Amino acid sequence: MKTAYTADQIRQAEQALMARLPDGTLMQRAAAGLAAVCADLLGRVYGSRVVLLTGSGDNGGDALYAGQRLARRGARVGVVAAGSKTHEAGLRALLDAGGRVVDRSAIDEADLIIDGLVGIGVSGALREPYAELAQQAAAARGQVVAVDVPSGVDASTGRVEGAAVRARVTVTMGAYKTGLLVDPGAAHTGRVELVDIGLGPYLPDPDVAALTDADLDVLLPRPGNESDKYRRGVLGVAAGGDLFTGAAVLAVGGALRGGAGMVRYAGRPAPVAQVRSHWPESVVTELDEPSITRVGRVQAWVLGPGLGTDDWAHELAAEVLASDVPVLVDADALTLVARDRSLLWRNAPVLITPHAGELARLLRADRDAIEAARLEHARRAAAELGVTVLLKGSTTVVAEDARPVRVNPTGTSWLATGGTGDVLAGLAGALLAQGLSCYDAASCGAYLHGVAGRLAAEGAPLAAGDVATALPRAIRAVTSAIS
């Protein structure tokens, strides 16, 4: 599992480690790692043109000492000092190695630009001349390498409140920072290279975490020799209506392809006909009234995709949420609970799967504010509503009160098409029915959904049904062979 930390957590760990080491040791370790990554990017160091953008903090020192190492290997290294002061020892070391102080025009001719303008402790919009230098670096032809975190990106949240450096590579020291994994900051980082400087024993519990294939291999349920369709998890799906019959088809498809032993679908006549046609494996109950008494026993429910928001839908949602099993609440059901939060007052677990607009309605917040601070609002919703939150978007995050937020590392922009959320709801619901907690079902569901999206797209447009079809391949891709 990849773990990440806030700026405060990193600084406390650094202070604990520095108390045991000679002065300057951490900076030299960081500079050595930074210089090695830069050398690999350049390929041929001798004769290359490198420009350092430095502020007055330790990131500037890291850049200067890395510049010293590159200058010793024959690079032509110049420094644009933006701060009111410069790391004196680092600047002296660079000049002694043949580096020089240059003006900002050198940025445009550089083969490599090292961003050491501000460190992890800086938040809010960049001030001048930092903002203008960040914009100039973004427009330059040379490769940009950020030290620790791109300047202008909040290391603790991923917020970007103005101009920010866009790096090809971010070389981060000691541990991943939260802002490197969460949009909009993640969009500025490029490839992230972690340099081990010895912080490991001093790091606290992480702020956020990202699953890996190895985690999925452990977490995903597998059928055993004694398994039958009931033991493998029975999922109820209450979705689809006269207007959106396809949502029911896609949710049921995501559940079946996601490994549910049985899917019991309940809905109105129009979606019932479509589900029967597409998925004869499902057990279908046509509802003439908003009641689930005839559906049969299930281990979890998916509620909401395409359901509608009229009184009939509200009554059905109330019936499902009055049950004693976990319920995944999506799409139209989120609109219903935004109007009537009392629907969420239940003893059994609830997983909600909103996009930013739906979460804005639930929290009575601004959508743009949610997009700018996804972690903050996902955490707020989990605490305020007493649920697990899977907030969909460019960075999908999973929040549960008093636990590290999980950030999903998989996916493709081709998933931004109608119906893919319905497939995700069915998939995560199937994992709930198979016994995973809301926290794990949401995290594993998002991960597999992203992998399936990549497999289905292969760099070209996809339809939601393609994602459902690709789910078995995605499961095979991230797990060991199933006996």
Q: Which residues are annotated as a binding site for K(+)?
A: 59, 115, 151
Classify residue 85 as exposed, middle or buried by CB count within 10 Å of its CB (0-12, 13-18, 19+).
exposed
Binding-site residue positions for AMP:
392-396, 421
109: left (phi over 0), alpha (psi -120 to 50) or beta: alpha
Task: Please tell me whether residue 195 adopts helix, strand or coil conformation.
Answer: strand
Strands (E), 405-455: 405-407
Binding-site residue positions:
58-62, 115, 119-125, 130, 148, 151, 247, 306, 355, 392-396, 421-422
Classify residue 441 as exposed, middle or buried by CB count within 10 Å of its CB (0-12, 13-18, 19+).
buried
Binding-site residue positions for (6S)-NADPHX:
58-62, 119-125, 130, 148, 247, 306, 355, 422
Distance from C-alpha of 53 to C-alpha of 35, rounded to nearest angstrom: 15
Concatenate the DSSP letters of all residues of 233-262 into one string.
-EEEEE---SS-HHHHHHHHHHHHHTT-SE
Tokens of 355: 């996009």
| Residue 284 CA from chain centroid, whole number | 35
- Those residues whose C-beta lies under 8 Å from the C-beta of residue 103, and which sit 6 or more positions away, are 80
Distance from C-alpha of 47 to C-alpha of 27, rounded to nearest angstrom: 26
CA angle 443, 446, 452 (to 5 degrees): 140
Distance from C-alpha of 301 to C-alpha of 262, rounded to nearest angstrom: 12
Computed on alpha carbons and rounded to an integer, the radius of gyration of the chain in Å comes to 26
